[in-house]
């Protein structure tokens, strides 16, 4: 491997340490509170919610969890969100996705007070991001941007290709890169000559959800590759029934060409929770009329 390995785990730890320092320094104004709502028994979501709760407490914030049965009626979930919106001790609200099929995710997300929408998914926060106004930014794209800025310094003038057009990663990632004066292309599985489009990029953000789709010969020599994908595939070489995690990029071949690359796991993933804590701190500052810290984003 010739590429520089961008250590998301270490970087996220440094971000959480800065968040903790700010929480301690602002203690006279109260304690930031984050409420996480989990509906159903999805195993991956349960693991993720536990990690969020643990790290929230570690930085000195209050962590509140609401675990609801999978069959919870929509009206009951909306009533819970309404109560959290009105709870002055809660500054951030996160409803863990995916939701059970009978629940309308858009309706639920847009029921959250935009000022407490620490996932950055509310339509008002999406609009604020798209028009360059201050709001809540989705955590995964924000984490990607922070790692890119840490590695490159200025991103101005670089050509970026975002592979994937989801509302959670692809679209907000493109908006953030535009805000840094990149030239941005959003590509996807139906893009004509996708490999050729990716090969133009100084920055590749892979968020298409297809294991090892992007090969090394798609990468411009020296480009920076941010792999958002988390895919579990069979690993028969490790034994019957064994699996392993891979990204949307074929790591070994991409790392042989790229200038820098994030691993999977240990790259983007840890930054998502770190940026959730950043957003919760921002929400706390906004609520108390305090300036947002300038050393976190």
Q: What is the pLDDT of residue 38?
A: 96
Give me the active site residues, please.
Answer: 52, 96, 119
Is the distance from CB of 85 to CB of 77 less than 8 angstroms? no
Q: What is the pLDDT of residue 46?
A: 87
Q: What is the pLDDT of residue 186?
A: 98
Q: Per-residue pLDDT averaged across 10-19, rounded?
A: 98
Is the distance from CB of 93 to CB of 113 less than 8 angstroms? yes
What's domain 139-270's superfamily in CATH? Answer: NAD(P)-binding Rossmann-like Domain (3.40.50.720)
pTM, 2 dp: 0.95
DSSP string, 117-156: BTT--SHHHHHHHHTT--S---HHHHHHHHHHHHHHS--T
Among 70, 95, 87, 115, which residue's Cα sits nearest to residue 30?
87
Q: What is the pLDDT of residue 243?
A: 87
Q: What is the pLDDT of residue 1?
A: 62
Q: Per-residue pLDDT averaged across 125-152, rounded?
A: 97
Q: What is the pLDDT of residue 285?
A: 98
pLDDT band for position 116 (cuts 50, 70, 90): very high
CATH node for 28-117: 3.40.50.10860
Does the CA dihedral 215-258-252-268 come out positive or negative? negative
43-47, 122-126, 264-268, 284-288: range with lowest mean pLDDT: 43-47
Residue 239, number of CB atoms within 10 A of its CB: 7
Q: What is the pLDDT of residue 236?
A: 79
Intervals of CATH 3.40.50.720 along the chain: 139-270
Per DSSP, what are the bridge partners of residue 93? Answer: 35, 117
CA distance 163 to 190: 10
- At a CB cut-off of 8 Å and minimum separation 6, what does 123 contact? 110
Per DSSP, what are the bridge partners of residue 184? Answer: 160
Residue 238 in this model has a pLDDT that exceeds 80: no
**268-287 and 139-152 are packed helices; what angle lies between their axes, rounded to 10 degrees?**
110
pLDDT band for position 240 (cuts 50, 70, 90): confident
Question: Residue 191: what are its φ and ψ, rounded to 5°?
Answer: -65, 130
Residue 228, number of CB atoms within 10 A of its CB: 30
Q: Per-residue pLDDT averaged across 8-30, rounded?
A: 98
Is the distance from CB of 228 to CB of 140 less than 8 angstroms? yes
CA distance 204 to 221: 12
Intervals of CATH 3.40.50.10860 along the chain: 28-117
Q: What is the pLDDT of residue 74?
A: 98
Q: What is the pLDDT of residue 2?
A: 85
Tell me how long the chain is: 297
Q: What is the pLDDT of residue 294?
A: 94
Tell me: the pLDDT tens digits for 165-203? 999 999 999 999 999 999 999 999 899 999 999 999 999
């Amino acid at each position: 491997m010739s590429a520089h390995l961008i250590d998301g785990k270490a970087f996220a730890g440094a971000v959480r340490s800065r968040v903790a320092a700010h929480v301690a320094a602002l203690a006279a104004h109260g304690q930031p509170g984050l409420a996480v709502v989990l509906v159903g028994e999805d195993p991956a979501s349960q693991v993720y919610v536990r990690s969020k709760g643990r790290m929230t407490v570690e930085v000195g914030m209050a962590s509140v969890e609401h675990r609801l049965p999978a069959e919870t009626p929509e009206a009951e979930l909306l009533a819970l969100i309404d109560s959290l919106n009105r709870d002055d001790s809660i500054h951030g609200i996160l409803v863990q996705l995916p939701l059970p099929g009978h629940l309308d995710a858009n309706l639920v997300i847009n029921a959250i007070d935009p000022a407490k929408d620490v996932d950055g998914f509310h339509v008002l926060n999406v609009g604020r991001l798209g028009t360059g106004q201050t709001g809540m930014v989705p955590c995964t794209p924000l984490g990607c941007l922070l790692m890119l800025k840490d590695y490159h310094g200025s991103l101005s003038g670089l050509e970026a290709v975002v592979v994937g057009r989801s509302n959670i990663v692809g679209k907000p990632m493109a908006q953030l890169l535009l805000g840094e004066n990149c030239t941005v292309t959003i590509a996807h599985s139906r893009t004509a000559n996708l490999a050729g489009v990716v090969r133009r990029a100084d920055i590749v953000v892979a968020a298409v959800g297809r294991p090892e789709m992007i090969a090394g010969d798609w990468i411009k020599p020296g480009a920076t590759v941010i792999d958002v994908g988390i895919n579990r595939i069979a690993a028969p070489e490790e034994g019957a029934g064994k699996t392993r995690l891979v990204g949307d990029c074929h790591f070994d071949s991409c790392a042989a060409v790229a200038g820098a690359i994030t691993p999977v796991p240990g790259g983007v993933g840890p930054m998502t929770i770190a940026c959730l804590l950043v957003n919760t701190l921002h929400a706390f500052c906004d609520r108390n009329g305090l300036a947002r810290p300038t050393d976190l984003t």
